[in-house]
Amino acid sequence: MVTRKEDFSKWYIQTIQKADLMDYSPVRGCMIFKPNGFEIWEHIQEALNYRFKQEGIRNAYFPMLIPESFFNKEKDHIEGFSPELPWVTEAAGEPLEERLALRPTSETMFGDAYSKWINSYRDLPMEMNQWANVFRWEKRTMPFLRTSEFLWQEGHTAHATAEEAKTRTQRMLDIYAEVIEGVLAIPVFKGEKTPSERFAGAERTYSVEAMMQDTKAVQAGTSHYMGTKFAEAFDIKYLNSDNEHVHAFTTSWGVSTRLIGAMIMSHGDDQGLVMPPRVAPQQVVFIPVGPWQKNPAIMDKIYELNEELASKQIRTVIDGSDNRPGYKFNEWELRGAPLRVEIGPRDLENNKVIVKARDLDEKVDVEFANFAEYIENALDEMQNRLLESARERNSQHIYTDINTLEELENHIEAKKAANENPGWILAGWDGTEESEAKIKERTGFTTRNIPVEGTVDKKAECIVTGKPAKETVWLARAY
Amino acid sequence: MVTRKEDFSKWYIQTIQKADLMDYSPVRGCMIFKPNGFEIWEHIQEALNYRFKQEGIRNAYFPMLIPESFFNKEKDHIEGFSPELPWVTEAAGEPLEERLALRPTSETMFGDAYSKWINSYRDLPMEMNQWANVFRWEKRTMPFLRTSEFLWQEGHTAHATAEEAKTRTQRMLDIYAEVIEGVLAIPVFKGEKTPSERFAGAERTYSVEAMMQDTKAVQAGTSHYMGTKFAEAFDIKYLNSDNEHVHAFTTSWGVSTRLIGAMIMSHGDDQGLVMPPRVAPQQVVFIPVGPWQKNPAIMDKIYELNEELASKQIRTVIDGSDNRPGYKFNEWELRGAPLRVEIGPRDLENNKVIVKARDLDEKVDVEFANFAEYIENALDEMQNRLLESARERNSQHIYTDINTLEELENHIEAKKAANENPGWILAGWDGTEESEAKIKERTGFTTRNIPVEGTVDKKAECIVTGKPAKETVWLARAY
């Protein structure tokens, strides 16, 4: 197997296939989520559904097909999405009168429905989410990170005031950060996208961005404040307490199955996947060792210990196959199982097992009496360790002292020569699209987001023009 | 509001709209699942996922778009589905080289993948499920029961032997019956579909059928044994222990969001929905009565009682709106909330609440001390009551003594004249498609299924020809 250092993209593709997370499909750009890959998504769904419910946001399901005329109602929206849309033009043997797009996102459908459902301020806020498949016909695809069909959740809300809508936009960004850090163990950088990177039709777009091991960025989640743009396009009005019909303020926000890709690129190593315990399909794998087949007491003990973990809702698997232990060790390391529990005749005699965490080298003897408690703690500790070690790694790849485009070009050259990754640059920016375009053209770096006020030191000058900086912005190469 | 007796279909449409379960969409035949409707589906999903997991069946996700060439591999399959397919013919501004169908079902996609993933008997059984949206372009649609896009689960399995595949087919039918009866409180009739009603491409199709209040049948779930037909079409072969490459035996099985429609038509009454507690989004609704706004202790008590139920995972809602209690009572009856809890100043003094079950007329005084326990039992009791009363109603509409087509025609006429529903007929059948077609032509009744051996008395003669009956079959009008 290729190492991350040799070829990170190739390492990624090999790893996800060998770990049985996905397969390619006969349809260009569309992939199959195999059970080991899909279950990661199910755990992300649980974590988000729990938080959505706490916020009073319920799930709905809207039709996948969107009439062409709907897109044309919001000019920026159609311009942004039309290059990527697949179209249904015939059904049941007959051409359709109007083309129907496979949804790339559903602001238009929610907008049309909200305009019917919202009448007075009593109907507000109206807040719904849906879990759905969406389509964006991509030229270059990469499993999980960029595919023509993917799975996501999209929340859509309407509010009586701009304030309330802005609060919802921020709150969802915070929830994304909580889940991506707390469940996927990926540290994120919160901030606002520049105008050129905004969602098509939004007034403001916020994102959480994550740094992969090759220091490329992944936009891990976005939250959009629409102002009244979609309300105007779809006529979402309510009767306010002054008896006037006024436009509502809307938001939308989403994360997708690209989080699975981000998780793999954040934690994997040259032996394969490293799964954060909270999303691992198998959190603990039991492997009998030594002449266990001749000693049935070993498997009996494994069943007993397994039962202890099952009662704590810990997800386990017992590998009682005929393969050699060494083969099984490799296999489960490749699949990223957080904890491995070995037990052989000697261990049984000594009332203990051997536990190894996927991300550590040492093996630990654990007595039967403390087993379940030890495992429970060890899973929590590994979860925290993965987040901390990703944070630590990130901090080594952040550059705050690059002040001109030339310095950035030199930095990139030097890193390339040393076979190292270029990292992320915290830069001053004059706020113009021209400067942003120049950065991209000369370095391949793009603006990721403008960090939340107060979280980083302000830059004095624009990295391109040397003029006073309007904002401070993260620059990086991105997936 | 129209009553069930006056116009059952109209009653259904009014009820689901007033109870806020769904809305129509701008796309012909496609509907919006609003949160109250979608949550019913979420509870069905939980119940099925739990059982799938116990069976060792995991969830996956396959691409929605299916290349036209895939359909052509199984002749019966394409013949059965092609009249209903929508096609994507262009994407990203360009015509596609090959049309892509929106999946009506995914045997072809799983078949193609399984042929790659299955090599030896060690890979078998291979068993996966997916939750997905599917498309069948319908001419006549009805919310939940028949829509152009709907949601379902489809399981696909491959086995080394015909026996094992048949066992899986039967087991899934049993699981559907368990969930539909145990969770949705709808009694079902298990049996095998006649050849003309088989899934396109199956060797045998089994179904669970349910009787609605208008005595029309709903096919509530199906399980198919494919033999080696799909394995031959998609080249799913494995190396058996004799070192020969042989075809696998496959199955598929599914239930859809039409179960939501079946649930409504089974339990609803002229006041609106009646939700079985296990799927009700709100199981208990608290309504303060009397001059409660002047007496804050009432709401405090409600919060306290609500907390007791929350700790038992009971889904509750507190209606503290400004509307009159009578209005609220009607509203929550319309929405089908299983239990209503009223509390006013007098109740508070007497340390009790008043509880009313949606399906019973009487109100019961319940002391605070027994509250949570009472509610827990009352929910279980209502769940059982709904199933039993549906069983009782079914038994009143089953006719086993109609032996000729003429008798059936007279029966239908007589029922019509009395403004009663025609029910289901248990009939003898000579097993020919001609007889089946004649029944449909003359009466509008179709064969539902052939009951599981031994569950009903065998019929001696065919209802059409009077010849010796090959099988006994349920006849009914159907949705």
Instruction: Answer for the pair A449, A206: CB distance below 8 angstroms, yes or no.
Output: yes
Q: Which of residues 189-208 of A touch B (CB under 8 A)?
A: none
- The pLDDT, as a whole number, for residue B337 is 98
pLDDT in tens, A311-343: 999 999 999 999 999 999 999 999 999 999 999
Q: pLDDT band at B458, cuts 50/70/90? A: confident
3-state secondary structure of A103: coil
C-alpha to C-alpha distance for B313 and B43, rounded to whole angstroms: 13
Fold held by B284-381: Rossmann fold (3.40.50)
CATH architecture designation of domain A8-267: 2-Layer Sandwich (3.30)
pLDDT over 90 percentage in chain B? 94
Intervals of CATH 3.40.50.800 along chain B: 284-381
* Long-range Cβ contacts of A308-315 (<8 Å, 24+ apart): A308/A371, A308/A372, A309/A284, A309/A372, A309/A375, A311/A372, A312/A372, A312/A376, A314/A283, A314/A284, A314/A375, A314/A376, A314/A379, A315/A280, A315/A281, A315/A282, A315/A283, A315/A284
pLDDT in tens, B128-172: 999 999 999 988 999 999 999 999 999 999 999 999 999 999 999
pLDDT of B456 higher than 90: no
Contacts of A116 in chain B (CB under 8 A): 23
C-alpha to C-alpha distance for B48 and B51, rounded to whole angstroms: 5
Q: pLDDT band at B78, cuts 50/70/90? A: confident
φ/ψ of B266, rounded to 5, equals -85, -40
Instruction: Answer for the pair B248, B302: CB distance below 8 angstroms, yes or no.
Output: no
Instruction: Answer for the pair A194, A455: CB distance below 8 angstroms, yes or no.
Output: no
Q: Which of residues 77-136 of A touch B (CB under 8 A)?
A: 82-93, 100, 102, 109, 112-113, 116-117, 128, 132-133
Intervals of CATH 3.30.930.10 along chain A: 8-267
- The pLDDT, as a whole number, for residue A319 is 97
- The pLDDT, as a whole number, for residue A45 is 98
- The pLDDT, as a whole number, for residue A409 is 98
Q: pLDDT band at A454, cuts 50/70/90? A: confident
C-alpha to C-alpha distance for B83 and B86, rounded to whole angstroms: 9
Fold held by A398-476: Translation Initiation Factor IF3 (3.30.110)
Please give the average per-residue pLDDT across B325-342, as a whole number: 98
Residue of B64, B92, B137 lying closest to A133 (CB–CB): B64
- The pLDDT, as a whole number, for residue B454 is 81
pLDDT of B77 higher than 90: no
- The pLDDT, as a whole number, for residue B76 is 85
- The pLDDT, as a whole number, for residue A456 is 85
Residue of B60, B63, B90 lying closest to A38 (CB–CB): B60
Contacts of A80 in chain B (CB under 8 A): none
pLDDT of B453 higher than 90: no
pLDDT over 70 percentage in chain A? 100
Residue given tokens 């609220």 in the structure block:
B328
Instruction: Answer for the pair B255, B211: CB distance below 8 angstroms, yes or no.
Output: no
Instruction: Answer for the pair A343, A301: CB distance below 8 angstroms, yes or no.
Output: yes
Picking from B43, B54, B62 by the largest number of A CB atoms within 10 A of its own CB, the best residue to mutate is B62
pLDDT of A78 higher than 90: no
Instruction: Answer for the pair A451, A189: CB distance below 8 angstroms, yes or no.
Output: yes
Asked if B87's CB is within 8 angstroms of A87's CB, the reply is no
Residue of A30, A85, A93 lying closest to B83 (CB–CB): A93
C-alpha to C-alpha distance for B125 and B157, rounded to whole angstroms: 7
Asked if B91's CB is within 8 angstroms of A88's CB, the reply is no
In terms of CA atoms, which chain B residue is nearest residue A94?
A: B86
pLDDT of A420 higher than 90: yes
Q: Mean pLDDT of all residues in chain B? A: 96
What are the residues facing B135 on neighbouring strands?
B149
pLDDT in tens, A172-197: 999 999 999 999 999 999 999 999 99
Q: Does domain A284-385 have CATH number 1.10.287.540?
A: no
Q: pLDDT band at A457, cuts 50/70/90? A: confident
Chain B contact present for A34, CB below 8 A: yes
Q: pLDDT band at B196, cuts 50/70/90? A: very high
Instruction: Answer for the pair B277, B383: CB distance below 8 angstroms, yes or no.
Output: yes
Higher per-residue confidence, B81 vs B410: B410
Asked if B90's CB is within 8 angstroms of A89's CB, the reply is yes
- The pLDDT, as a whole number, for residue A211 is 98
- The pLDDT, as a whole number, for residue A71 is 87
Contacts of B132 in chain A (CB under 8 A): 133
The whole-angstrom distance between A272's CA and the closest CA on chain B is 21
- The pLDDT, as a whole number, for residue B85 is 95
φ/ψ of A250, rounded to 5, equals -120, 160
In terms of CA atoms, which chain A residue is nearest residue B98?
A: A27
Instruction: Answer for the pair B32, B24: CB distance below 8 angstroms, yes or no.
Output: yes
Cβ neighbours of residue A267 under 8 Å, at least 6 residues apart?
A: A185, A273, A274, A275, A276, A336, A359, A386, A390
Chain B contact present for A56, CB below 8 A: no
Instruction: Answer for the pair B51, B180: CB distance below 8 angstroms, yes or no.
Output: no
C-alpha to C-alpha distance for B81 and B104, rounded to whole angstroms: 7
Higher per-residue confidence, A79 vs B172: B172
In terms of CA atoms, which chain B residue is nearest residue A81?
A: B92
Q: β-pairing, A245-247 with A316-318?
A: unpaired
- The pLDDT, as a whole number, for residue A453 is 83
In one letter, which amino acid is A51? R
Intervals of CATH 3.30.110.30 along chain A: 398-476
